[in-house]
Amino acid sequence: MPGCGRGYDVVYLGKSGHFGAVTGLDVAPSGAAAATAYLASQGVPEGVTVACADFFQFDGVPGGYDLIYVRFDRHLGGGGGGKGEHVVPCPRPT
């Protein structure tokens, strides 16, 4: 989840029970720290984390991801600064 901000969506997805692991990303150290603090205050399950990293340079986690959720399309060069939600399925290699 690039640009995870305060971590609200990371907590929501982590507590949903649909995912074994959730990783929020924020390129700003202050944003990653704020999200990490919020996660700690919400008692999220193990495997729900935040990393301070650039989405386009992040190596991910071993085993990859089942999906990538992006809240604002401008993070992926959508242009126009429009807001939107995107869920990109990421099939695992066989």
Q: How far apart are CA 84 and CA 61, in angstroms?
A: 25
Side-chain half-sphere exposure of 33, counting CA atoms within 13 A: 3
In this prediction, residues 42-67 reach a mean pLDDT of: 83
Tokens for 25, please give them: 């990303």
Burial status of residue 59 (CB atoms within 10 A of its CB: 0-12, 13-18, 19 or more): exposed
**What is the predicted pLDDT for the residue at 89?**
52
Q: Is 74 left (phi over 0), alpha (psi -120 to 50) or beta?
A: alpha
The answer on pLDDT for 44 being more than 80 is: yes
With CA atoms as reference, report the closest residue to 22 among 53, 37, 44, 38: 44
The answer on pLDDT for 4 being more than 50 is: yes
pTM beyond cutoff 0.85? no
**What is the predicted pLDDT for the residue at 35?**
92
Q: How far apart are CA 11 and CA 54, in angstroms?
A: 20
In this prediction, residues 50-63 reach a mean pLDDT of: 82
pLDDT tens readout for residues 68-82: 777 665 544 544 444
